[in-house]
Structures are given as C-alpha cells and as structure tokens.
C-alpha cells in the first residue's frame, strides 16, 4: 500500500487561497437541505430504533428495489436480489478484488484508470495490465490484442476494470458503437467485466448510453453509487452482480462490515421515493455543464499549447502537456502559484503518465476555474522556457538549488 497522490493534496486543496483543480468532490450545494432535514427527523422519530439497528448483510430490500429503478436509466433490467449494498462503490471495488484476486493475478484496466481502483488492486497485489483509451473510450482492438497476448502467455485476466461514462480521469465516454464490441470481446475471452459507473447520470445534456451490463448481465459486475447523483455523505453504493458472485460479495461484505448503513439506506430510499430526484440530477447536470464549459474556454484561452479531452459529462478533463514537461515534478511549483491538479502518474499502475494531468471542474465556481487555469498557464509557460533552455532533464538541475515545498508548507 502507499499514500494516494490525491490524499496528500487534500490538505492543500482545502486552503482558501488555492484554486483546486485536483479533487473530485461533488458540488452538492443545490441539494434540498431543508427537505432532507425534515425527512431525517421524521425517519428518526417514527422509525429510530430500526434506523439505528444492524441490518441485512446484502442491504435492505426497500433500498435494493429503488436501486433497480435507478439502474433502468442505464438500460439495466435487474431484480432486487441481484443487488448488494456497499459502503460507497469503493467498498464494492474492494470486495470484488478480494474475491477474485490472488497475488500476481491479472486485472486489465484502462490507461489511465481511477486512482482509487488502482489502490485497491495494488493492495491485493494484482498485476494490472493497461489497455489504452481514446476520445471514444476503451479501444476494442487494443483490448482484444491484450487479452489474446495474455492468453498466449498463459496468463488469463480475472476481469476488465472500466469506467464507460465520463471517465475518471480521462473525461471521455465509451461510444455507443464500441459498447457491444467490448462485451463481445470479453465474452469470447471469458473475462468478466467490472463496470464502474458513478457518473452515468451526470451527462451535461444527455441521458446515459446503455450500460455494458445491459448487453450481458452475466458477464458484468456493475457498480453504482449515490455519491455523485446525490452526495457521498451516507456512503451508499452498490454492486449488481451475477448470482454466484453476489453470494460471495455478501459473505465478504459481512466479514468486513457486518451490514451497510441502515440509516443511510432509509434516508436514501425515502428521498428516491418521495422527492423528484431526477429533477435534482438535472440541476446538477446544469451546474457541471457550466463548470465544464468554463474549463474548456479557459484552456483554449490560456493553455492552447496543451491538448485536452472534451467531456460531455462528469467532473474531469485530461490534459496532455507539451513535450518535455513533467506534471509530477511541476506540481510543487503549481501549488506555490496557488493552483492544484493531479499528476497523470497517479492514474497508471506503472509510473507512466507524467506528460498528463487531470483537471477537475466539479467543485470550484466557473470564475475560479478560469483563474485556476490562468495561474496554471504561468507555471506551464515557465516550464516550457526551462525545457527550451535546459532540455527535459531540467528538473534534476533545479532540484539542486530549489527545495520543492511539501503540501503542508504552502
């Protein structure tokens, strides 16, 4: 195990003078807090002893019924029995990995991949083999070639880990045309799909494309979460899995936590039943669209030397830096200039990615996003000059004279 690059940054990001384009905290200010306060009080008054009690290891039937309705938006027709409630989808990632992975087993994952999933794979000593993605998401030909090569080497992948919608960190979405092809390739190679979909409902202008699970429910373990379409506070997420896997997930979850939050499930269920939650999701979409647009225009205005992905939803864009600039080495100088991002290296298993950075637009206001990118542009332009003068090895050269500040010094 090792400290995530993002965790170290949280301390910095919380300082008011820093514009953080680093964290992935959802912007939940528009949630109906008065309504939630009344709802919570009512549940506690009318059902307090139940709300504060242990519950079923699989999660409560009333919550699982609501989740089945939510998954219909992804084209998934599941049964409440298929669903296991978890402590955020992060716990589901952990449970699936615990069940399938022995040290040295292969997980195939997009390059780049969500840092929190890579952390779990690392904790279970998986061997992660990356497959590239492009503006249309995971590349089917590359996946097919990788699975074929692994087979030839006598190494079978246990599962494919993929985030098809509004990818973290790449910002891209798997195209409609590629979806059935990815499923077909995994069927042919007998490789399970771990489909992680926390952002699916947060398309700026559109409803989600059909989930991979909608093409083949038995081939796919689907992970969902209320963290982004509501808020992460109750820590309610879920896995929808084929029968045999589901049984194991429940056993593993009971061993880890006994039962998921009863209180959180009761409040989330009541919210989904009583409140016009989809209108609230549309409100979030509008806010993220405005922030995403602010990010796109700021990049065009201040950092035209870089390339970036154009997200159609979610929280992130993935920026490719000019030749010779190392995002990880540049980060302390960015923080000195009061702007933070996450170096691309966090999103690869093998230390690649220094030519990339993830910029998130979910939390700061559009004005702050513009200001953050403006500050970042000064840092990038200064780096470009250094590369011009000293070549790509200039970071070593600089380290001799300048000690980079640690996050808590800034």
- Tell me how far, at minimum, the Cβ of 89 lies from ligand PLP, in Å: 4
- Tell me how far, at minimum, the Cβ of 94 lies from ligand PLP, in Å: 10
- Tell me how far, at minimum, the Cβ of 378 lies from ligand PLP, in Å: 29
In the bound state with ligand PLP, the residue whose beta carbon lies nearer, of 204 and 347, is 347
- Tell me how far, at minimum, the Cβ of 74 lies from ligand PLP, in Å: 15
- Tell me how far, at minimum, the Cβ of 222 lies from ligand PLP, in Å: 12
In the bound state with ligand PLP, the residue whose beta carbon lies nearer, of 172 and 329, is 172
The tokens of 97 are what?
Answer: 């990995």
In the bound state with ligand PLP, the residue whose beta carbon lies nearer, of 171 and 332, is 171
User: Where on the chain is the footprint of ligand PLP (CB under 6 A)?
Assistant: 24, 88-90, 114, 116, 163, 168, 196, 198, 225, 227, 232, 237
Residues in the chain: 410
Shortest-Cβ-distance residue relative to ligand PLP: 88
In the bound state with ligand PLP, the residue whose beta carbon lies nearer, of 92 and 303, is 92
Q: What pairing do the DSSP bridges indicate for beta strands 220-225 and 192-196? A: parallel
Phi, psi at residue 15, to the nearest 5°? -75, 135
Nearest to 58 by CA among 264, 223, 239, 270: 239
- Tell me how far, at minimum, the Cβ of 381 lies from ligand PLP, in Å: 30
In the bound state with ligand PLP, the residue whose beta carbon lies nearer, of 204 and 316, is 316
In the bound state with ligand PLP, the residue whose beta carbon lies nearer, of 343 and 377, is 343
In the bound state with ligand PLP, the residue whose beta carbon lies nearer, of 73 and 390, is 73
- Tell me how far, at minimum, the Cβ of 276 lies from ligand PLP, in Å: 23
Q: What pairing do the DSSP bridges indicate for beta strands 192-196 and 157-162? A: parallel
């Amino acid at each position: 195990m090792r400290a995530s690059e993002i965790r170290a940054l949280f301390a910095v990001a919380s300082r008011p003078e820093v514009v953080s384009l680093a964290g992935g905290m959802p912007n939940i200010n528009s949630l109906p807090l008065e309504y939630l306060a009344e709802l919570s009080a009512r549940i506690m008054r009318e059902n307090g002893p139940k709300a504060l009690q242990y519950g079923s290891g699989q999660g409560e039937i009333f919550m699982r019924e609501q989740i089945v309705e939510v998954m219909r938006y992804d084209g998934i027709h599941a049964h409440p029995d298929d669903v296991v409630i978890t402590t955020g989808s992060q716990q589901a990632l952990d449970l699936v990995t615990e069940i399938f992975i022995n040290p040295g087993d292969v997980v195939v994952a997009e390059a780049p991949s969500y840092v929190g999933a890579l952390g779990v794979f690392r904790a279970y000593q998986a061997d992660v083999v990356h497959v590239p993605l492009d503006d249309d998401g995971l590349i089917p030909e590359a996946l097919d070639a990788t699975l074929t090569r692994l087979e030839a080497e006598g190494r079978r992948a246990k599962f494919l880990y993929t985030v098809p919608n509004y990818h973290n960190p790449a910002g891209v979405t798997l195209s409609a045309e590629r979806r059935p092809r990815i499923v077909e390739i995994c069927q042919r190679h007998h490789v399970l799909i771990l489909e992680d979909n926390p952002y699916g409902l947060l398309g700026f202008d559109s409803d989600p494309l059909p989930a991979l699970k909608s093409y083949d429910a038995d081939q796919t373990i689907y992970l969902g979460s209320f963290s982004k379409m509501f808020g992460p506070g109750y820590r309610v997420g879920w896995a929808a899995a084929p029968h045999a896997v589901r049984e194991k997930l429940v056993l593993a979850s009971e061993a880890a936590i006994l039962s998921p939050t009863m209180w959180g499930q009761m409040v989330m269920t009541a919210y989904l039943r009583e409140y016009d939650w989809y209108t609230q999701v549309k409100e979030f979409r509008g806010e993220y669209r405005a922030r995403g647009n602010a990010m796109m225009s700021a990049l065009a205005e201040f950092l035209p030397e870089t390339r970036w992905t154009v997200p159609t939803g979610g929280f992130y864009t993935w920026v490719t830096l000019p030749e010779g600039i190392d995002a990880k080495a540049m980060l302390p100088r960015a923080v000195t200039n009061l702007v933070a991002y996450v170096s691309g290296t966090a999103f690869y298993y093998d230390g690649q990615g220094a030519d990339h950075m993830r910029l998130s637009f979910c939390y700061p206001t559009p004005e702050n996003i513009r200001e953050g990118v403006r500050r970042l542009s000064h840092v990038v332009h200064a780096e470009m000059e250094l590369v011009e003068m000293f070549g790509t090895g200039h970071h070593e050269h600089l380290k001799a004279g300048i000690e980079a500040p640690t996050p808590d010094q800034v």
